[in-house]
Amino acid sequence: MYKPIIGVLAYLLSKDKKKVLLIHRNKKKGDDHLGKYNGLGGKMEPNETALGTLKREIKEEAGVEAKEILYKGMINWRGFGSREEDWIGFIYRIDHYEGEVKQTCLEGDLEWVSINRLETVPMWEGDNLFLPYIFDDTKKEFNAFIEYKGERVVNHHFSW
């Protein structure tokens, strides 16, 4: 039976729009993301909207208030991680925020990474498929399907 976990994933841009805030997931043993860089976000709570989840997660993880939020798309991940979970993720870009960004959170250290060097940091293989759409303002909102076997993408497709 297909019962996906619903979550959000956000990419917060620096004020000059040249860097993105990522979490280097280096704190929790048993974390499927351990050692990888990831956007900010998490699971939707039963009483939340996707946008409400986004605002809560950004405040919890980065310590800032998201102000200018762009919806970029939706991804259906199948077989993700060691538990082979199914996820539906709403993907956002945050172009403006208020407050001082924290240096660390429960999942790991926060790091500003140059957008033009994202391919040099360890992240999930599938992230390289959709990240170009996050930072390209000429692209429309996307819908994607990304299927994993272990840490490898075995199937994917996008639609607009």
Kindly list the structural domains of the chain, giving each domain's residue range(s) and its CATH number in brackets, ordered by start.
5-159 (3.90.79.10)
Strands annotated E in the chain: 5-13, 19-24, 37-38, 40-43, 65-80, 85-98, 109-114, 142-149, 152-159
Integer Cα distance of 37 and 108 in angstroms:
9
In three-state secondary structure terms, 119 is helix
Quote the pLDDT of residue 109. 98
pLDDT in tens, 64-122: 999 999 999 999 999 998 899 999 999 999 999 999 999 999 999 999 999 999 999 99
- pLDDT band at residue 30, thresholds of 50, 70 and 90? confident
Q: Are 135 and 93 in contact (CB under 8 A)?
A: yes
Q: What is the DSSP letter of 104?
A: B
